[in-house]
Amino acid sequence: MSAPRGDAKLNPYESFEQNVPGQRINWYELMDQMIGEKKQRFSNITVPNVGIPQPMRPPEEIRISGIMESCAFKSTMSFAIGGLLGGAFGLFTAGIDPNITGSETPTTKLVLKEMKFRTISYAKNFAMIGAMFAGTECVIETYRGKSELLNGTLSGGIVGGVLGFRAGLQAGILGAAGFAAFSTAIDYWMRHM
């Protein structure tokens, strides 16, 4: 590329000659199309990722991915799914083992009332445990910057301890140990399945 001579002012639309004879390139026009006002978006650009080409993600997909990977979203989803699963368990256990005392035959109204109570109770418990565990695990994973088995163990210990401390110190320690062991076993099984 030859430089302008003397005190000549630069004209952005003037073509400069490249070292290849017979070929002219307007560098300002090229820059304007690549990074300026005339920039064009291409959807078929691929970025290599460890040898596997993947298309570039649009900003909307990146934004939605960021929302779905946030701790608040994970905790909310675990709350909702835990509530549904707990409600199903409550309904199932109330149908198998009704907790109605008395010598008289239970009425339909009494059975339905007990099923409603147990369904709501299980749903609340499962929802809170799911939200607490998912939120704690996400915060620990974000803080540590690693996705490994220890995150679930720490989260299980914290949640089990918090839930167990309502019944005392010994129950808190046993709850922490039990929940940590259970979450570690489940996490290990899920990772090596």
In a domain, 121, yes or no: yes
> Tell me: the pLDDT tens digits for 34-55?
787 777 766 666 665 666 667 7
DSSP type of residue 45: -
In a domain, 45, yes or no: no
As a whole number of angstroms, the distance between CA 189 and CA 193 comes to: 6
- Bridging pattern class, strands 24-25 and 46-49: unpaired
Q: Is the four-CA dihedral 153, 159, 162, 163 of positive or negative sign?
A: negative
Residues 132 and 185 placed together within one structural domain of the fold:
no
Q: What does each C-alpha distance from 74 to 104, 142, 151 come to in angstroms?
A: 47, 12, 15
Residues 102 and 126 placed together within one structural domain of the fold:
yes
Residues 135 and 75 placed together within one structural domain of the fold:
yes
Residues 175 and 140 placed together within one structural domain of the fold:
no
As a whole number of angstroms, the distance between CA 193 and CA 181 comes to: 18
Cβ neighbours of 140 (radius 10 Å): 18
Q: Which of 130, 146, 162 is at the close of a domain?
A: 146
Residues 91 and 125 placed together within one structural domain of the fold:
yes
Q: Which of 110, 131, 146 is at the close of a domain?
A: 146
Residues 125 and 159 placed together within one structural domain of the fold:
no
In a domain, 160, yes or no: yes
What is the average pLDDT score of the chain?
83
Cα 107 to chain centroid distance, Å, stands at 46
In a domain, 106, yes or no: yes
Instruction: Return left, alpha or beta for 51; rule: phi > 0 is left, psi -120 to 50 is alpha, else beta.
Output: left
Looking at the 3D structure of the chain, how many domains does it have?
Answer: 2
- Bridging pattern class, strands 16-17 and 46-49: unpaired
pLDDT of residue 141: 93
> Tell me: the pLDDT tens digits for 140-170?
999 998 889 999 999 999 999 999 999 999 9
CB within 8 Å of 4: residues ≥ 6 apart: 10
Q: Which domain holds residue 176?
A: 148-192
In a domain, 92, yes or no: yes
Residues 136 and 171 placed together within one structural domain of the fold:
no
1 or 57, which is more confident: 57
Residues 98 and 115 placed together within one structural domain of the fold:
yes
52 or 124, which is more confident: 124
In a domain, 1, yes or no: no
Residues 139 and 94 placed together within one structural domain of the fold:
yes
Most confident of 37-46, 94-103, 125-134: 125-134
In a domain, 43, yes or no: no
pLDDT of residue 20: 53
Strand residue runs (E) in the chain: 16-17, 24-25, 46-49, 52-55
Residues 84 and 113 placed together within one structural domain of the fold:
yes
In a domain, 100, yes or no: yes
pLDDT at 21 over 80: no
102-112 burial, b for 16+ CB within 10 Å, e for fewer? eeeeeeeeeee
